[in-house]
Amino acid sequence: MLKPEMISEFTRQMSEKLGDKGLPGEAELKRQVQLIAENAFSKLNLVTREEFDIQSEILLRTRSKVDQLEKQVKEMEAAIAKLSN
């Protein structure tokens, strides 16, 4: 899940793009942007790059184990077939 710091960084970058013009209500606008961003990101169900990379590694290891087990099953099936002939 996204960390609060990531949302804060997003809103900070948005504030930089909007500029600091000292306009009336600017602080309120920034607060509203933060709330909208938090709401939107929470609905997206996003994960961090780190979490994605960890899950990718787990998937690769799992795939390797499945391939290895499939090979063993084929070898056992061949051995059983050889014995029954």
The pLDDT assigned to 58 comes to: 98
Confidence check: pLDDT of 23 > 70: no
0.75 exceeded by pTM: no
Distance CA 56, CA 48 (A): 12
